[in-house]
Structure formats: C-alpha cells, structure tokens
Amino acid sequence: MKIVWAGSPHAFDVSDRISKLVASDPGFRKDNRSTLSRKELFKNTLRKAAYAWKTIVELRLSEEEAAKLRFYVDEPAFTDLHWGMFIPAIKGQGTEEQQQKWLPLAYKMQIIGCYAQTELGHGSNVQGLETTATFDPQTDEFIIHSPTLTSSKWWPGGLGKVATHAIAYARLIVGGREHGVNGFIVQLRSLEDHSPLLGITVGDIGMKFGNGAYNTMDNGVLRFDHVRIPRNQMLMRCAQYTCLCMPSDALYLDKVLDVYSIAFASIAVMLWVSQVTCEGKYKQSDVPRQLVYGTMVYVRQTIVADASCALSRAVCIATRYSAVRRQFGSQNGGPETQVIDYKTQQSRLFPLLASAYAFRFIGEWLKWLYADVTRRLQANDFSTLPEAHACTAGLKSLTTTTTARILTSKNTKTRAIVEKLRAPSKFSTSPWMFELHLVPVDSPFLVEYPVDPTRHGCGIRTGFIGIHRKKKRPGQRSSSSSEQIVSPLSSRWSPLEEESLPAEDKSLEERLDGIEECRKLCGGHGYLCSSGLPELFAVYVPACTYEGDNTVLLLQVARFLMKTISQLGSSKKPVGTIAYMTRVKHLMQCRCGVQRAEDWLKPSALLEAFEARAARMSVACAQNLSNFDNPEEGFAELSADLVEAAVAHCQLIVVSKFIEKLQQEIHGKGVKQQLEVLCNIYALFLLHKHQGDFLSTGCITPKHAALANDELRSLYSQVRPNAIALVDAFNYTDHYLGSILGCYDGNVYPKLYEAAWKDPLNESVVPDGYHQYIRPLLKQEICTARL
C-alpha cells in the first residue's frame, strides 16, 4: 500500500529516505514553533531555509531529492515561491535569452524571487489589476507604477523581507493604449545591502491566522513609484517588443512563439499577430486576438496533490488517536471501548480516509492531464484546453474545500431542494440560448425528462420535455410559460414529500470538512497545538482562496457546463471528463437498477447515478437560464444553483478516476480489495450526503438511498481492522506529522504530560504578574494597587 500511495517504488524510496533524513536532523526541529514570537519565528525560518540549502549542496541532492527535502522540512518559507513560482514563470514565459540570463542566478540563489500578481484591490480578477507598465520608446524602458492604493501588490510570499526580484504583473501600455496584463522581472532590493531600490516601497503585511502556521512566511506589500526597467525584462515568450532600425518606429509585436507552459506560469494561450507603433497606432490582424485561455493547469494539479497530503496528515492523526483513546463501554471492570469502534466515529472518520486516497489518485491523473495538455499545446492543438481548464479549476475547488473548510448544516428537505432548483441561473454562451419546447417524440433534440407540473404550477400536461437549440434574436424574450419546464420531479411517481425521506436526511450535517473535522474527532485534546491539527488547519486553509477563489472557480466550471449543453446536437462532441454528456438523453430518463444493498458495489451502478445527477442538475440550470433575456443577469441570479451543478460534475470526476485506478494492475496482497472498499465508501458517502440532489432529480428513490446507507455501514466495518495500516501507508514520520496525538508508537498520554511542562508559561512556579495583579486581589488590596 505504501508503494501505491507513493506512486512507484522509486518515488517511495526517495520519499522514505529524505523524510528520515529531515526527521533525524535536529537542525530541522519544529516542535517549538507555536511558542515563538513573530520575529523569532521568521528568523528561525530563515535559518532553516539556509540550513536546507546547505544540506542540499553538501549532499549533492538531485532536484527531485531537494524538492522532497523542502517538502518534509514542512515550514512555509520564501523558498517555496522562489522555486515554485519565480523560476517556473521565467521558464514558462521567458525568452531563451531571458532564461540564459536569469535562471543560472536563480538556481544558485544568487537572486531570490517572488511572484507579485495579487493586489490589495484585486485577486481573482487578474484583468482588473491596476499596476501599470508604460513603454518609453525614447529610453527603450518600461515604467512600472502603482497609481492607486489598491494597486499595491499584496500577499506575495517572500516579498515582505527577503526577495531581491519579483515577477510583477502589470497592465501593458504602449502609445497610450492598453494591451492586457503582462509579467515583468523587476529588481526590488540591492544585492549589496538588501535595501529597497529607488521608487520601491516594500514590507510585510502583518500577522496571519494561527500560531506559527503561515506566519513563517513574509507575505508582502509592494508599491512602485515610476520604477524604470529595461525593455528586455518583460517576459516575452508569447509577446515581444522590438525596436526596428528607425528609432521612431518602435513596434509592439504580439506573437505566439510557443505555447509551452510550466508550473505557476499561466498557460494562457494568446494568438496575437498585431503591431503598435510608438506613435500610438495599433494594427490588428484577422487572427483572433484571444484564441483560448487555459489557466494554471500545473499549479492546480499540485494544489490537488497538496490537498491529499494535508488531508492524509489530519486523518492519520485522528485515526491513530481514535485507536488509542478509550471512552465508556467498560464491562465488569474491563477496558473501555476504543473510540474508533463507535459507528458515529467511523461514519465521520472513514469517509475522510477514503477522500485522502481519492484525492491522491485524482492528483496522479491530473499529472497525466497536464503532460497531455502540454504536448497538445506544443503541437498547436487547443482542442482539450477548455475541458482541462474546467477540470483543474473544479478539482482545485473541490479538494481544497473538502480538506479545509468547516461546512455548515444544510437542510435537505425535498421541498427546499426543489424550490432551489426553480431558481434562475446565468448562461454565457455565444448568441445561442436554450428554448424549452414540447417536441415530437422522434425529434433529435428530445430529452425525455419526467416532470410533475402540479408541484410548481407549470402549465404542461405531458411528462416529457425537449431541449431545442434556437438562435435568440435581439430583444427576443424567452418562451411562454406554457412551454417551459422547471421541475425535475416525475409525474409518474408519487410526489416525493418530506415524510418519504430518510429521517436522518431531513437535517443532514455536512460532515466532510477535512482537517477541522479531524480536530473534532480528537475531542478536547485536538484543540492543543501539540495535536498538530490547529497549525495544520491554519497553514492549509488559505488554499481555498489562493490561485483562484473556490466559488469563482466553480462558476467557471459552470460556464463550461452550460456551453457544453448548448452545443449538444452540434458537430462538436464533448470530450474527456465531460464526455458523459453525449449520453444525456439516456441519463435524463434512466432509472437506478439497484435492488439490494450490495448492488451499490457495482461500478456501473455508481457511475450511472453520479452521471445522471450531474447531467440533470446541469440541464436544469440550462433550462432556468433560458428564462432570462440577459444571460449575465441570469448567471448572477442562478449562481448558487450553478455552483451545485459544478460540484456534482467534479465529484463525478473524482469517483470515475478512483474507479479507473482500480482497473489498473495493483500489486500487493489485499491492497486492491482495500482500495475498492475505500472507493465505495467515498462514492456512497457522497451519495448519502447529497442524496437530496439524487432524489430531487429522480436519479434514485428513497429505497435506493436507504440501501446505499446500509451498504455504507457495512463498508465501515470492513475498513475498521485495517484502518491503522491504511494510514501507516502514508509513511509519515513523527517529525512531519508534528502531532503527539498521532505519534507512531501510540504513547500519547505520557508525551502530552511531558509537553505541557515544556511550555514557557511553566518555566516558573509563580507567574510573572503575581505581585502586581493576583496578590492584590487575594489580599483585598486592589483599590490601592498600582495597575
């Protein structure tokens, strides 16, 4: 199982060797982080980063080994941005000349870089960035400037106190005209005394959430005051400025020189063949200015992999401690029951264990997807880029939300769900719109979809609807109410009332909240810093917003889904993870064939249920969107429903890729069988948690839902004997886990007791402040005390 988790015998060997190297070196100690002041913490991080670099050089570690060492040091630092964003940005966006100049310096750490994109006023909306880069043809320079307070760069890691250079993103201005956001290499600090250069105002943005945690990182603020840089410091792999022989004829040439992309360098593909002279004349060719955008496939793949690592750490801690902790159940003076044996504990813990493995395997698949997209881009094949963009955006959102966020209770009564499905939605897709019509049975656009018009007052007397693509004329309103179907409920079934739902579903708790849920699974001791969970949560929770706010990303997925539906029936067929939409007619009318609880173990049954749910929720949104004259208004109004449809699509991807993983050859006695159990737990828990969606769209009946829950309980019992082995397969050292509750030997209570006495507050028996504050209270001298 350790090999399966690592990905290969080689990957396991490297990971195991480097993790033990870090764990055995006292120079990488981290158990005192939560007790250090911010200045002490930051200085200690600088020491560790320097010590890590020294170790890498002295041991002559390979690039792979060096990356693993930085990973197991487990402390956010400026080096993360230097190696993870600054260098890859130059690789992906720099010309050969720029790479030859800057990469050797960066590889030797003779310069230290960061990635300055986010501003005080703009994060997700990159096109809204306010920093400007104005080309001066007289000096062949760019003038970088922060025109407003909100244009201040804000949040870049490593910027606050360490970085000497930055990849700064700014609005390109040539001859008074803007040409979008571009990246520039800007020196920030002197390489002699580290002082900020002329026109640079830079510093740290202050303390962040949690003790220790991300406060080891110097997230910074940066303002430019007409800072001049040479023209050749604009990243110009995809766009290039050239000065022709005539000094007065500087041209801006947008050229697709290459569509290569790597790491945090965005793989935005811009096909620009246009010119702008220094006199402000702009000439654009017939080639589309913007052919296609695919954003950060690589970085989102790494974020998904990070989600797996963070969630698996929390699950490892909670699982081991649940086996150590005993509460209640003692009979005749015998031992109390292990907490892990309670079904309530299993129903909260084991789905998270399954999720950790699911995210691991989806991360592996995304690595393949990234390589495939890169190969296609190099061959000028853009066909899979929109699907890859939507896929990575949605999976980044899904995995980080599951891993970090505390989800709120959700009332899943059928009536509430159906009302929610009635809400309008936004649909942005060319001039094409959706019209819902009663169409002949033999129509190629017919999608049989059972409805119950009596539930929502729809004036339809039939149980089926059709989807007809129709070009919308300017000012045309949607179809009349007699042509529109909103309800997904079947008139052939008995109306699904609240009472027909399983009792526990009427106020189903959204339990899959990852690290925070693991903290609660550890009881009161999980709140201690020594549990490792509070700091892990504080370090990981920013993943929900960096590299794309999760809700914004899901809305991007929703746009892609709506566009896909609008193209059904055309010559453009859905591909990849959206290929199930080619069977939309079947998915809109299929019925679950599960008769017994064990039937849910059939991959075909699971996949069809998840595909039908995703398809029906997307189609329902598309139908509602067609009611709006203005698609953008509709999208804004229906954004909540669209997010739910996007989540359904993304969950389908994870389930399907987990199943595909199990179709591969997996070595090790009993390994594949345990992974099958985890796969079924992951899928059936999602079905149980979101059964309101499955029921309201008619994918399953209440009986099917009850059978799924029965099988889920059985699966928990199958995981229980192997739970510790499954988390041991993560192969995390005690140093990396950083948790007394999750220590490998299970000797929790003596270690907790010992750690308590090491706290600085226990350095003296009588606390500082006793004579000033406590004694006056005890002696009734408070009125005369000097406070």
Residue 139 located in a structural domain: yes
Q: Output the domain CATH number for residue 147.
A: 2.40.110.10
Same domain as 210, residue 129 = yes
Same domain as 27, residue 130 = no
Structural domain that includes position 32: 1-40+55-73
Amino acid of residue 308: S
Cβ 98 vs Cβ 165: under 8 Å: no
Number of domains in the chain: 3
E strand or H helix at 446:
strand 446-447
Radius of gyration of the chain (CA): 29
Q: Which of 225, 258, 287 is the last residue of a domain?
A: 287
Least confident of 194-203, 473-482, 585-594, 744-753: 473-482
Residue 458 located in a structural domain: no
Cβ 33 vs Cβ 760: under 8 Å: no
State the binding site for FAD: 118, 157
Q: Output the domain CATH number for residue 517.
A: 1.20.140.10
Same domain as 321, residue 276 = no
Same domain as 705, residue 637 = yes
So what's the pLDDT on residue 374?
Answer: 77
Tokens of 480: 């009349």
Residue 786 located in a structural domain: no
Least confident of 88-97, 181-190, 656-665, 678-687: 88-97
Residue 777 located in a structural domain: no
Alpha helices, DSSP H, located in 277-384: 297-324, 343-378
447 vs 159, which has greater pLDDT?
Answer: 159
pTM of the shown model: 0.79
Unique residue bearing structure tokens 């399954």: 354
Residue 588 located in a structural domain: yes
Q: Which of 702, 717, 733 is the last residue of a domain?
A: 733
Same domain as 31, residue 119 = no
Q: Which of 733, 762, 782 is the last residue of a domain?
A: 733
3-state SS record for 669-735: CCHHHHHHHHHHHHHHHHHHHCHHHHHHCCCCCHHHHHHHHHHHHHHHHHHHHHHHHHHHCCCCCHH
State the binding site: 118, 157
Least confident of 163-177, 224-238, 733-747: 224-238
> Among 384, 377, 424, which Cα is nearest to 562's?
424
Task: Cite the active site residues.
Answer: 547
Least confident of 60-69, 116-125, 379-388, 400-409: 400-409
Determine if residue 218 is left, alpha or beta; phi over 0 gives left, psi from -120 to 50 gives alpha, anything else beta.
beta
Question: How many other CB atoms are found less than 10 A from the CB of residue 353?
Answer: 24
Same domain as 113, residue 16 = no
Same domain as 69, residue 80 = no
Same domain as 211, residue 68 = no
181 vs 322, which has greater pLDDT?
Answer: 322
Same domain as 334, residue 215 = no
E strand or H helix at 64:
helix 63-73
Same domain as 400, residue 377 = yes
Cβ 638 vs Cβ 422: under 8 Å: no
Going by C-beta distance under 8 Å and a sequence separation of 6 or more, which residues neighbour residue 724? 319, 320, 323
Q: Output the domain CATH number for residue 18.
A: 1.10.540.10
Unique residue bearing structure tokens 């980044």: 396
Count of alpha carbons within 13 angstroms of residue 475, beta-carbon side: 0
Same domain as 639, residue 727 = yes
DSSP structure string for 442-468: T-TTEE-----GGGTT----SS-EEEE
Same domain as 311, residue 283 = no
624 vs 374, which has greater pLDDT?
Answer: 624
Residue 389 located in a structural domain: yes
So what's the pLDDT on residue 108?
Answer: 94
Q: How confident is the model at residue 405 (pLDDT cuts 50, 70, 90)?
A: low
Whole-angstrom CA distances from 3 to 658, 704, 726, 743 are 17, 36, 12, 22
* CA–CA gap between residue 726 and residue 684 (Å, rounded): 19
Average pLDDT of span 701-715: 96
* CA–CA gap between residue 271 and residue 285 (Å, rounded): 10
Residue 33 located in a structural domain: yes
Residue 47 located in a structural domain: no
